[in-house]
Amino acid sequence: MTTLRLRPEGLADTAAIRQLVADAFATPDHRVPAEVGLVEALRDSDAWLPELSMVAEGDGELVGYALLSRVTVEPGAIPALVLGPVAVPPERQRRGYGQDVVRAALDAATELGERLVVVLGNPAYYRRFGFEPAARFGLTSPWSGLGDPWQVLLLPSVDGSPGRVPGGEVVFPAPWSRV
């Protein structure tokens, strides 16, 4: 592959994203993975932030996908983002595309002035981006009981202000009840 292009999804990408997510999360029973429906339900919801649905494209083909969408921390309705799904087709995995597309999404969020990102996933993968167990900060969610996979990242500020991870409960919009 010559060059990797990292960019927000466009109108023409919907079907290819669906296929990519289905392939990455495929299970032996051949059911459509829940993550496919999650992306589509989020795209139709108020939580969707079009600039933060990021694809990696190489030679005209999508080789990576990372989604950041809106959640809030209560009390106070503090805006935050949730990362996921992150997907790379099986035949393209372990070539750095996942890291590239996640970093592109996090960089785009930073430029938009976002500060807080949560994720539920393998700490061995997500710690490379700076994610830490959210329990350390008193930040809870319906998935807190899973322990270290429930993680948080404080993004750098564009104006140099320090910022901090707030304690509280992260509230997820309805599409997340699918997963």
- Quick one: DSSP state of residue 31? P
Length of the chain counted residue by residue? 179
Q: Closest separation between CB of residue 179 and ligand COA, Å?
A: 9
Residue nearest to ligand COA (CB): 98
Per the DSSP assignment, residues forming a β-bridge with 118 are 82, 152
State yes or no: residue 43 binds ligand COA (CB under 6 A): no
In terms of CB distance, is 104 or 139 closer to ligand COA? 104
Q: Find the binder of ligand COA among 45, 99, 140, 144 (CB under 6 A).
A: 99
In terms of CB distance, is 25 or 143 closer to ligand COA? 25
Q: Find the binder of ligand COA among 15, 124, 161, 162 (CB under 6 A).
A: 124
Chain Cα centroid distance, residue 9? 14
Tokens for 7? 């960019």
Stretch that binds ligand COA, among 10-18, 89-97, 150-158, 159-167 (CB under 6 A): 89-97
Tokens for 19? 């296929």
- Quick one: DSSP state of residue 156? P
State yes or no: residue 88 binds ligand COA (CB under 6 A): yes
Separation between Cα atoms, residue 74 and residue 168, nearest integer Å: 6
Separation between Cα atoms, residue 23 and residue 93, nearest integer Å: 11
State yes or no: residue 176 binds ligand COA (CB under 6 A): no
| Contact predicate 89/1, CB 8 Å | no
Q: Closest separation between CB of residue 9 and ligand COA, Å?
A: 16
> Binding residues for ligand COA, per CB under 6 A?
24-25, 84-88, 93-99, 121-122, 124-125
